Structure 1
Amino acid sequence: MKPVIFTIVAFFTFNLGLLAQEQEIDSLQGSKVVLDEVFVSALRVTKSSPVTFSNLTKEEIKPRNLGQDIPVLMNFLPSVVTTTDAGAGVGYTGIRVRGSDATRVNVTINGVPYNDAESQGTFWVNMPDFASSTESLQLQRGVGTSTNGAGAFGASLNVLTDGFSQEAYGQISTSVGSYNTLRNNLKFSTGMLNDQVEISGRLSKINSDGYIDRARSDLDSYFLQGAYKDDNTLVKALLFGGHEITYQAWYGIDAETLKEDRTFNPSGIYTDENGNTQFHDNEVDNYKQDHAQLLWNEQISNEWSTNLALHYTRGRGYFEQYKEDDDFATYGFEPITVNGEEITETDIIRRRWLDNDFYGTVFSANYKKEKLDLIIGGGLNKYEGDHFGEVIWARYASNSNYQDRYYDDSSAKTDFNLYTKANYQLNEQWSLYGDVQYRTVGYEANGEDTGLVDDTFNFFNPKAGIIFDLNKNNNFYLSYAVANREPNRNDYESGNPKPERLNDFELGWRYISADVQFNTNVYYMNYRDQLVLTGELNDVGAPLRENVGESYRLGLEIDANIGLGEKLLVKPNVAISTNKNQDFVFERDGVLQELGKTNIAFSPNFIFGNIISYNPVNELNISFLSKYVGKQYMGNIDSDNSILDAYSQSDLNLQYTITCNGFLKSIVLSGLVNNVFNAKYVSNGYFYTYDDTFSVPGTTTTIEGAGYYPQAGTNFLLGATINF
């Protein structure tokens, strides 16, 4: 409890009455224009839009960028909760915004959709160290603006990759830390050749044993960019991707194991012929993903500019499992007789493969003249995926042959959208915002888990808002947005899911001055047929969801950027919300029960965050970062067995810059101590129920259970970056 109390006391000590939205002054005012931002201009917003948002720049990311994933680096933004399977920020990581999980956060990279088309999830592990090639990102909470890819049901995250550099440079970075974590990367740029062409790139390698037993990560990634610009044209060609091999840690542990052995990992466990407990040494996820983007911006006239992007993503890899005493029938094996005994079960090692392609185009045209800012855009994207399984070893192989596939199915998804959005300045104080999107989605699948699927969805998503600039310091906005969204692949496992609909109302006030930027907003998100997390996982660790009819999220968000003199900066935020299913029905002990209003799973009512940044001298920065996440339920029936306790986390971050003369420009030393107070906390878990009809014949008893993902205690990362 002491770390929790300290975090809350520190938060209110520094922030009483001064809570607001974190923004760079220039970006909030919309006065700073970076040429590369034209590629995301159709998706990003400034204070002239009625959208709740936060920006995070390369300079803000850099001191903590020592190998951890982007979701971990976003942990201290408003309404954000992050988690990591391996417990220390390397490997599989996840993010929730306003209680909505990663499948409901629309992610684009340079305006190109990144969410997996089928699962709708975002797997940052496939692009290790991507933060090192990120210029900036913007997190829009709520529906946000019309964007490409899956509809935003909790937030939109727009990532802009590295801008071009006028000067040539080289950079070598190394970081080491707890759990044998090691990150090395190399970056370079030719600078602008003939003031028109630049080539830049990055190579990265990250290894970590993880906090959880055997939860090791072996990660490689690359980023290569060619840029061309003249007075009216900007073209970029990008190749980037990664290869991840991670030992699985998604099984979690029960409450008793959490008390006795919190790093225990049941993944890969089996019993050998002598009755000894063993662990399969290759229970890994092995996946490669490569991306190609061609981005073209053209300034046609003083009023008109256009953006065109062509993209292609290639993904392939497998998840390997040791299965003990598995049924022959699962693999199409015929029973065999050994020493006069019929054998119908065997120990096997299997690989479950994904092999997919995602390609398409996104485009927009922007017209700006006097009072009107108009954008017309859209996208057409196609996904084609193969799912198949192979047995690579079996104690009794029966009638199988090498490379036989015990299942083999395919899926396809086509996503097309068109949108028009405009901001019209009525006068010096009032402006209107309108945004209309039409989106059609076709999805086909034929897996044993999904059944035969051939669905088409047509969505109309209007948005409208009004902005009032009281003066140069105060800005108010009110907006209403509609979002519709199709089910994902896993939703079809439990039946015939319905598409979801969201009505999002946002009311906000922004204040900005030289020393204080402040934002507060109230939101009301009303859902019909929301696909909420049930708390359960499927057989590969993916969360399951179900339609719940009527539900809502009502909340208040306040955050700030406060300068206290020239050396001290404080960035607090708080989110207070209530998240409810309206008329939840649950079958317990064989009887259908009407539970009425219940809490939506994984939706804490209180989230506090704070960053205190101190610069005693120009070369040294010291930051203390704290996070408090309130109690949340991992299911929707308000069961005490599903409670995930409140927790806090506090980090200490230092950066010292040594300026050099000559070939070496600078040496930057960084240190990060995570979880300074060694809190024994759990940031994620799962909850399940099942009917027991065997303990007492003739009766049905509902059994509840839960699993937990413990996070690392005090751990550290130390880094050095040499710039030349």
Structure 2
Amino acid sequence: MKNLFLFLTLLVLSVGVNAQQNQIQQDSTSREKLDEVLVKAVRVDADSPITHSNVDKEELAKRNLGQDMPILLNYLPSVVTTSDAGAGIGYTGIRVRGTDATRVNVTINGIPYNDPESQGTFWVNLGDFASSTESLQLQRGVGTSTNGSGAFGASLNLLTDAFSKEAFAEISNSFGSFNTRKHTVKISTGLLNDHFEISGRFSKIDSDGYVDRAFTDLKSYFLQGIYKDGNTLIKALTFGNKEYTYQSWFGLTAEQLQQDRRQNPYTYDNETDNYWQDHYQLHWNQRLDNNWSTNIGLNYTKGKGYFEQFKEDESAAGFANLIEDDSDVIVRRWLDNDFYVINMNTTYKKNAVEIISGLSYSVYTGDHYGEVIWGSDLAPNTNIRDRYYEGDATKNDFSVFSKATFKLSEAITGFVDIQGRFVSYKTNGINSDLVSFITDAEFSFFNPKVGLTYQANQNNSFYTSYARANREPNRDDFKNGVTEHEILNDIELGWRHNTNKVALSTNLYYMFYQNQLVLTGGLDDVGSPLRATSGKSYRLGIEADASIQFCNSFSTSTNVAVSSNKNKEFKASIDGALVNLGDTNISFSPDLIIGNALNFFPAENLQLSLLSKYVGEQYMGNVDSEFSKLDSYFVNDLNVNYEIKPKKLFKSIMLSALVNNIFNKEYVSNGYYYTYDDTWSDANAVTTIEGAGYYPQATTNFLVGATLRF
């Protein structure tokens, strides 16, 4: 509580001190877009000492033909993406600097999106969200203070559609391989009486998937009403999605991969995931004068759904004796949760000083339970839909921060960011394995960040920063006995060079951890990755991102990430003995990642892009076993966009085509690795047996689409 008092005091002092300077004069604050204030507290400026990439609506639209958001971000620095169904639609994932999705903090208009319990991000619940995204920023490393679970490798913040001054209607349709279809309708009234706008989007996405029967059926919506004048912006919006997908998270063995890389081991007709999620947000941005602005954000998210699964020859004890031994059974495992958030931020900006202070408070409640919906041999006095396990969870998350940017000299800008975060997590009940799960944990974190930017001249700047992050275990970690929090220290050094023809950004980073929870490579019984504490570990790397305009008709964008990712003095149980393996590679952390785009503009409104991605070999476990190695891969996509501007009826017609994996590469981007001890083959010895699974990605496939704007 002392830390809480300290931060609240700093918050009040920062407001009080600067209020004394409130002699109004024209300042850049008065020219900022009110829409951007929604994410100002979690974003950074172009010259800040934080390593980041920005993507705008126009860039997203070029490849937005139905694939999920992670796939659209595949060509950003240090990013690796994957798809369970192989085609980039449905359950997709993103890793940044080798860290998985549970460690990438995602916010939408400043509201946390990561599931508070699992800390994961499920893009399958945001169907066609790129069509409602105005811009996004990916910060690599710890980044600046954000809301929700701490960023332990990256943070991704999305800003939804800005208001439109003019009325419009838009119809988008795309079709492609694996019976993929996307249908989107967008409308806007434009500003009515210069103050009001109502807009919306409705989307339907279907795909059979590259993997057999790994279909995806997504229905989503986005509705928004705004009021604005010169100093006020009020946004009320709701968006949601209903997903229906066939399971493909089990992957394939090496033998199955060789036999038929498109096969799916699941055979039950309704081995499906079914989930509904609706979000309601209210944002009030107020510019008080040329120096002061405020933002209040409210959020309520309702999520509910289940996955259905067939299990063969189960034991009665495993189902609370609802069935007889050796009964076949069909179960539904449910999640039913509610998530409430309030964010409050105040920004003061005058001349070269900007101070942003704020707080965020969220409450999550979730029920977990399982139902037997069929059994070949039910026990006496039992009924269909009897629950064989149930439990609940509550998580409270409060954070308060204050960050300042200020001039130390004509060429040097300072950055200070301090955050206090206070988390409580409680569970009660039993898990699906019928083991009692009772947790009552509290954490208090202090997360400081400092940085300097040196503007050497008009074209060159250099920056350095230090950031510290702390992070609590997630639900699965607690179930597996992990109670200690993780600590990350992140040091960044960077150089930015900008001219009319060249934009270059390079940076060196060193991220060193204590109690880092690394992926073991294994999966639990619902396909979620398992983690284990690795003690001390580090990630050391260099990233370079360059865009060059050679001439009006040709440009290139290239990024390279070279890194070393190591567990220090890693210990593992092998053949019945605990062995110190020394320094080992951290799982799912390739040493080399390259992205490249060659852009050709042969005619007005026509763009052709060759997109290339190289991902080096990586281990799926932490013991450097050759059995756990994923081979490197090099994949190329071709993207074509042509815009027609008719004189009548339509404002524009955008034609798009995307050919993925044009050289028909058979590759695997993700998998899992596990071990178990054989104690029965030889009664006098323990032998560690290794196993692995693989997620094959699609060979050559295509998507074509047209967007008609009225």
Please indicate the TM-score interval, normalised by the length of the shorter structure. Answer: over 0.9
> In the alignment, what sits opposite 1:291?
279
> In the alignment, what sits opposite 2:213?
214
Distance 2:591 2:685 in 1: 37
One-letter amino acid of the structure 1 residue matched with residue 515 of structure 2: D
Shift of 1:496: 3.0
Q: Which runs of 4+ in 1 moved over 6 A?
A: 29-32
Distance 2:329 2:53 in 1: 49
| Sequence identity (%) | 59
Shift of 1:497: 3.1
Shift of 1:413: 0.3
Output aligned runs, 1:306-385, within 5 Å: 306-333=294-321, 343-385=324-366
> In the alignment, what sits opposite 1:505?
491
One-letter amino acid of the structure 2 residue matched with residue 489 of structure 1: R
Shift of 1:334: 6.1
Helix, strand or coil for the counterpart of 1:179? Answer: helix
Partners of 2:322 and 2:388 within 8 A in 1 = no
One-letter amino acid of the structure 2 residue matched with residue 425 of structure 1: K
> In the alignment, what sits opposite 1:20?
none
Distance 1:653 1:182 in 2: 18
Q: Give the structure-1-normalised TM-score.
A: 0.92
Helix, strand or coil for the counterpart of 2:36? Answer: helix
Aligned alpha-carbon RMSD (Å): 1.3
Using a 3 Å threshold, how does the CA distance of structure 1 residues 659 and 34 change in structure 2: closer, same or farther? same
> In the alignment, what sits opposite 1:52?
51
Q: Deviations over 1:199-231 (max 9, x none)?
A: 110000011000001100111000000111111
Distance 1:172 1:451 in 2: 49
Partners of 2:34 and 2:232 within 8 A in 1 = no
Aligned length: 678
Distance 1:92 1:361 in 2: 29
User: Where does the alignment leave 5 or more consecutive residues of structure 1 unmatched?
Assistant: 1-28, 268-278, 336-342
Q: Deviations over 1:178-211 (max 9, x none)?
A: 0000110100000000111111100000110000
Is 1:558 the counterpart of 2:544? The answer is: yes
Is 1:617 the counterpart of 2:603? The answer is: yes
Using a 3 Å threshold, how does the CA distance of structure 1 residues 202 and 549 change in structure 2: closer, same or farther? same
Q: For 2:697, which of 688, 692, 711 is the aligned residue?
A: 711
Q: Deviations over 1:10-37 (max 9, x none)?
A: xxxxxxxxxxxxxxxxxxx999954311
Q: For 1:526, which of 500, 512, 522 is the aligned residue?
A: 512
Q: Deviations over 1:53-79 (max 9, x none)?
A: 001111011110000000000000000
Helix, strand or coil for the counterpart of 1:163? Answer: coil
Output aligned runs, 1:21-170, within 5 Å: 33-170=32-169
> In the alignment, what sits opposite 2:24?
none
Helix, strand or coil for the counterpart of 1:36? Answer: helix
Further displaced range: 150-159 or 559-568? 559-568
Partners of 1:535 and 1:634 within 8 A in 2 = yes
Using a 3 Å threshold, how does the CA distance of structure 1 residues 479 and 235 change in structure 2: closer, same or farther? same
> In the alignment, what sits opposite 1:270?
none
Partners of 1:30 and 1:46 within 8 A in 2 = no
> In the alignment, what sits opposite 1:11?
none
Is 1:659 the counterpart of 2:658? The answer is: no
Helix, strand or coil for the counterpart of 2:568? Answer: strand
Helix, strand or coil for the counterpart of 2:690? Answer: strand
Shift of 1:448: 3.4
One-letter amino acid of the structure 1 residue matched with residue 473 of structure 2: P
> In the alignment, what sits opposite 2:9?
none
Distance 2:63 2:31 in 1: 24
Partners of 1:252 and 1:707 within 8 A in 2 = yes
Is 1:679 the counterpart of 2:665? The answer is: yes
Q: Deviations over 1:281-313 (max 9, x none)?
A: 110000000000001100011111001100000
> In the alignment, what sits opposite 2:368?
387
Partners of 2:520 and 2:621 within 8 A in 1 = yes
Output aligned runs, 1:257-656, within 5 Å: 257-267=256-266, 279-333=267-321, 343-399=324-380, 400-449=382-431, 451-656=437-642
Distance 1:578 1:72 in 2: 25
> In the alignment, what sits opposite 1:275?
none
Distance 1:682 1:529 in 2: 30
Helix, strand or coil for the counterpart of 2:165? Answer: coil
Shift of 1:460: 0.3
Helix, strand or coil for the counterpart of 1:60? Answer: helix
Helix, strand or coil for the counterpart of 1:446? Answer: strand
Distance 1:344 1:557 in 2: 57
Shift of 1:564: 0.9
Distance 2:454 2:102 in 1: 33
Distance 1:577 1:619 in 2: 39
Q: Give the structure-2-normalised TM-score.
A: 0.94
Partners of 2:196 and 2:227 within 8 A in 1 = yes
Distance 2:699 2:648 in 1: 42
Distance 1:31 1:624 in 2: 41
One-letter amino acid of the structure 1 residue matched with residue 154 of structure 2: A
| Structure showing greater relative contact order (alpha-carbon pairs closer than 8 Å, 6 or more residues apart) | 1
Partners of 2:509 and 2:541 within 8 A in 1 = yes
One-letter amino acid of the structure 2 residue matched with residue 131 of structure 1: A
Distance 2:166 2:639 in 1: 29
Distance 1:650 1:232 in 2: 47
One-letter amino acid of the structure 2 residue matched with residue 103 of structure 1: T
Distance 1:46 1:679 in 2: 39
Partners of 2:374 and 2:384 within 8 A in 1 = no
> In the alignment, what sits opposite 1:224?
223
Partners of 2:29 and 2:349 within 8 A in 1 = no
Shift of 1:369: 1.1
One-letter amino acid of the structure 1 residue matched with residue 506 of structure 2: T
Distance 1:429 1:65 in 2: 41
Helix, strand or coil for the counterpart of 2:227? Answer: strand
Further displaced range: 425-434 or 30-39? 30-39
User: Where does the alignment leave 5 or more consecutive residues of structure 2 unmatched?
Assistant: 1-27
Partners of 1:497 and 1:546 within 8 A in 2 = no
